Structure 1
Amino acid sequence: MAEMSLLRTAMEQYVCSANEAITMKLVRTPADIDDDDKNFCPEFTHQIFGQNENIFGYKDLKIHLYYSAAQLNYYLSKSCSEKVDPARYDGVQADDVTRMIIEKLGIHPMDNLESFVTSLGKESNFTPSGMMLHSYKTHKDGVDQQFEIYKVDMSVAGFREYHEKLQTFLWWFIDAVSYIDVDDDRWQFYLLFEKFTVDGAARYSIVGYSTVYKYYAYPNKIRPRVSQMLVLPPYQRQGHGAQLLETIYIDYRQDLDVLDITVEDPSDDFIRLRDFVDCKACMHLSSFSPECLHQGFSDQMVQEAQEKLKINKKQTRRIYEILRLRVTDESNSEQFKQYRLDIKKRLNMPYQKEKSDLEKMRKVLKPEELAATMAGHSLQERHQNLEKMFQEQMEDYRKIVERLAML
C-alpha cells in the first residue's frame, strides 16, 4: 500500500493542464509563427481529454495547433522536457496526445513546420464561398479593419471540405458539442471573415461562423433555429457576434415563409448577445416607446415584434422587461416599485400553479404525506426565492442596458 502511494505521488509530477499546455493560433504570414501575441488557448478540453482536463505523462508539455488563417490548413506539434518512463512506473504509458486530438477532431494535420510555412503561400488563392450579405468596418488600435459575412450551404463546390476544417474549432470553444449532419439540406451557414490586403492583394482570415437549421412550423411556415455560433478568441469582445447575429436576423426577416427565429440551448454569453441585438431592434418599434413600456407588456408588442422582427412571444417579454428597465428611473421609488411588481408577477406564475397543485393534493394526501410534500413551500421562503430571482434578473438586465447606452 505504501509503495502504491509513493508511486502515485511520483506520477503526479507528470500531470499537466490541457488548457495551459495547448496553444492555438491563426497564421497569416510566417512571421506570425513566432509572434506570441497571436496565441490563444482553448476554453474547453474535457471533450477530448476528460472531465479533469488533464494530460498525463509529460513535464513542461507544449502542444501547438496552428491554422492558416484563410484555408485552415493545420499544423500540430508536441514537445516536453521529460516523458514518463513505463519501465520506472509499473508500465504506465503517457497519453497519446497527438492521436487523441487527431481522432476527435477528424483532421490530418501537418507535423512539419516547413511544409506548413510553404502552404501559407497559397493563402492568396482563397476567396470565401457563397454570397456576401454584409460588410462593415471597425477601428481598433488606430487601424481600420474590414469584415464580410457570407451565407453558404453544402451545394456550393468546395464548402463541404472547408466546413470539415472549420467545425474543428467547436471542440475547443463550445461545450457539449457534436458535429451536425451536413447531408441535411435544411442547414445553412453564415461565415464571418476579416478582409485585409498584402502587397495590394485581398486576403482573408476566418473570424467566426454560425449554423442555422430551418425547422418546419405548422401549417406552412419555417422556424429557423440558430444552432451554433462561434467568434474566435482573437476577435471576441469587439462586436462581431452582434454583427453576425443581426445579419442572420435580417436575412430571415426578408423571407415571408419565416414565422419566427429561435435559438438552440444558448449559453449565458449568447443569451446576453441575443438580448442586446433584439433590444437594439425593438427600441425602434412604436409599441416599445417609453410611454408604451410604462403601461406594461401588451399584445401589440408581441404582434409587432413577431411580424417585423420574427421574435417569438417569450423573447419579446424578456426584451420588454429590459427596455422598460432602461426607461425606468430607479431613483423614483414609485416608478421602480411598479417595475419590480411587474417582473415579480411574471416570476411568481410558476408558484401560483404550484399552489393550485398543492391545494388539490390536500384532498388526497395523508397529513404526514402533505407535510413532507409542502416542505420548503412556506410563504416566507417563496418571497425570498422571488427576491433572489428578481435580483439575478436585474443583474443580467443591467448589463444589456449598459451596453445599449454605448450605442
Structure 2
Amino acid sequence: MPVMAEVNFNKNAIEEYKCDANLAIQLKLVKSAEDVEDGPCFYPEMSHQVFGSSETIFGYKDPEVKMYYSASKLTTYININYKEVITPQDFDGVQPDDVLQALSKFVPPGFYTNKDAFIASLEKEKYFTPFGEKLHSYTHTTDNITRHFEIYKNTGNAPGFKAFHERLQTFLIWYVDAASFIDIDDERWMFYIIYEKVKSPCGSTFYHIVGYQTVYRYYAYPFMERPRISQVLVLPPFQKQGHGAELLQTFYTECWSNSDILDITVEDPSEDYQRVRDFVDTRNCMELESFSPENIQSGFTKEIVQEAREKFKINKNQSRRIYEIIRLKFSTTPDLLRNYRLDVKRRLHQPFQTTAKESSKLKALTSPGGGDSQISKKQKHEILEKLYNECVVSYRHILEKVAASI
C-alpha cells in the first residue's frame, strides 16, 4: 500500500501565496500614454472561467495583473508584477500558477508584454474610425459635462473587424457567467457597438469603445426571421448611464421597419438586462392603443399580443410582462388593484398547476395509493404572495424610470 508523502511546509505559510483574482486583475482603457500610469482601473466581477471556482491566483504575494486595452482598437498589454513568488524547493515542489498562460487561452495572440512597445502602438491608433454603419448618435450629461456617443452596426465583414471583435469579447469572461465566444464567420451574426466620440482642442476626432451587443438572426417559419439578442456588455466605466437602453432602442428602431422580422427574443437575460428591456419596452408600449387605461383593464388579450408584435416586434412572453407593468400603473383604486393582483397571481399559479398534473401522473405510475407529495395550500399561498410582491416592486421601479425619462 503506497504511503502518502509527508508535507514538510507550514500550511499557514502557503496561504500567504493565495490571492483573490478579482482584486489582482486590473483592467484599463488607455487613451494616451499618460493613461498607462495614471488612468483609472476597473476590476472583474468574476474570474472562475480563467482561474477556477475558487477565483484564486496561487504562488505570489500581492500580485498585480495589468490588462490594459487601447480605448480605440483594443490593442492589449499584459504585465504581471508581484512582491514575491513561491519557491518550489521550499514547498515540496508546489509550483506557482502560470498566469500568462491561463490568460492566453482567452486573449488572442499579438498582445504586448512590453510597456514601451504598447505605448508606441497608441500613436498609430489615434485616428481610428469605427467599423460599419452609423445608426444613431446621442449625448449624456453629468456634472454639466456633455459627452457624445455613436452606435454602429457591423456584419463582421469589414477588414480588421474580426481581430477587433476577438479582443472585444475577452471582456465577457470577467462580466458574463458561462460566457462563450462566437463564430464571427457565421454571416447570421450582427454586431452593434457604442463608441464615445471625442473632439480634441485641435479639432481631431477620436472614437473610444463603450460597449456592444451581438444578435443572431434565427429562422422563423415560414419565411421570416426572429433575431435573438445574445451578448450585451457595457464596460464598467460607462455603466448606469443609460447606454444599454440606447443600444437596445437603436436595435429595435432598425427592426421595426423590417417586414421580414417576426419578433425579437433575448438569450437567457440577466436580471439587470431584463430591467433594461422592460424599461425600453414599457416606454414604447405606453403609446399603443391596446395598452391604454381604457383597454388594459380587460386583461391580457390577443389584441395586446398582436399590436405589440406588429408595432414593436415584441414576443408574446415579453408583451405579457409589459402588460402587467402598464396595468399596474393604471390600477389606481382598491378594486382595480385587487383585480390586478388576482390576474397576476393566476399567471404565477400556472407552474403549480403543471407540476400538480405531472406529479399526479407520476404517482399513478409509480406508487398508486401513495401519499400526497404536493406542497400544502398554505405554502403555495405564501410562495405566490412572495412572488407577487417581488413582481410589484420590480414593476414599480420600471415605472419610476419610465416616468423620469419622459
Residue matched to 1:341? 342
Q: How far is the alpha carbon of 1:392 from its aligned partner?
A: 2.0
Q: For 1:5 and 1:131, how far apart are their aligned partners in 2?
A: 63
Instruction: Using the TM superposition, give the Cα deviation of residue 47 of structure 1 relative to its aligned residue in structure 2, in angstroms.
Output: 0.5
User: For the residues of structure 2 that align with 1:175 and 1:125, how far apart are their CA atoms?
Assistant: 34
Find 1:389's aligned residue among 387, 390, 395. 387
For residue 42 of structure 1, report the CA deviation from its aligned partner. Answer: 1.0
Judge conservation of contact 2:70–2:76 (CA < 8 Å) in 1.
yes
Aligned to 1:154, the other structure's residue is in SS state coil
In the alignment, which residue of structure 2 is the partner of 1:235? 238
Map of 2:95 onto structure 1? 93
346-355 or 138-147, which deviates more: 346-355
One-letter code aligned to 2:404: M
- Residue from 10, 14, 23 that aligns with 2:13: 10
Question: TM-score, with normalisation over the residues of structure 1?
Answer: 0.94
Secondary structure at the counterpart of residue 72 of structure 2 = coil
Name 1:51's counterpart in structure 2.
53
Report if aligned partners of 1:153, 1:159 keep a CA contact under 8 Å in 2: no
Q: Which residue of 2 aligns with 1:151?
A: 153
Cα distance in 2 for residues equivalent to 1:192 and 1:361? 52
Q: Are 1:293 and 2:293 matched, yes or no?
A: no
**1:96-146 CA distance string (max 9 Å, x none):** 111211222233321111111111112222000110000011112221111
2:30 corresponds to which residue? 27
**In 1, distance between residues paired with 2:101 and 2:359?**
56
Aligned to 2:80: 78
- TM-align CA RMSD: 1.8
1:197 paired residue number: 199
- Residues of 2 paired with 1:309 and 1:264: CA distance? 18
Alignment of 1:296-375 (within 5 A): 296-329=299-332, 332-357=333-358, 366=367, 370-371=370-371, 374-375=372-373
Which among 168, 171, 189 is matched to residue 169 of structure 1?
171
Structure 1 pair 125–383 and aligned structure 2 pair: CA distance change class (3 A): same
Q: Which moved more, 1:109-118 or 1:2-11?
A: 2-11
CA distance in 1, matches of 2:389, 2:125: 50
- Find 1:380's aligned residue among 378, 381, 385: 378
Q: Secondary structure at the match of 1:101?
A: helix
Secondary structure at the counterpart of residue 218 of structure 2: strand
Residue in structure 2 matching 1:274, options 254, 273, 277: 277
Verify the 8 A CA contact 2:26 2:41 in the aligned structure 1. yes
Q: What residue in structure 2 maps to residue 122 of structure 1? A: 124
* Identity of matched residues, %: 47
* CA distance in structure 2 between the aligned counterparts of 1:232 and 1:359, rounded to whole angstroms: 49
Q: Bigger CA drift: 114-123 or 243-252?
A: 114-123
Distance 2:189 2:165 in 1: 12
1:239-297 per-residue CA deviation (whole Å, 9 max, x = no partner) reads: 00000011111111221100001011111111111111111111111111122222221
Question: Deviation of residue 200 (structure 1)?
Answer: 1.1
* 2:398 corresponding residue in structure 1: 400
2: CA distance, partners of 1:304 / 1:313: 10
**Residue 251 of structure 1 aligns with which residue?**
254
Q: Which runs of 5+ in 1 are unaligned?
A: none
- Compute the TM-score of the two structures, normalised by the length of structure 2: 0.94
Q: Go from structure 1 to structure 2 and tell me whether the alpha carbon gap of 1:365 and 1:25 turns closer, same or farther (over 3 Å shift).
A: closer
SS in 2 for 1:70: coil
CA distance change for structure 1 residues 115 and 219 in 2, over 3 Å: closer, same or farther?
A: same
SS of the residue 1:135 aligns to: strand
Cα 1:355–1:63 change in 2 (3 A) is: closer
Give the aligned length: 401
Please identify, of 292-301 and 356-365, the stretch whose mean Cα deviation from structure 2 is larger.
356-365
Q: Aligned to 1:220, which of 220, 223, 227?
A: 223
Distance across 2 between alignment mates of 1:285 and 1:273: 20
Partners of 1:44 and 1:344 in 2: CA distance: 36
- Secondary structure in 1 matching 2:7: helix
Matched residue SS, 2:375: coil
Q: Which secondary structure state, in structure 1, belongs to the residue aligned with residue 26 of structure 2?
A: strand
The aligned amino acid for 1:350 is: P
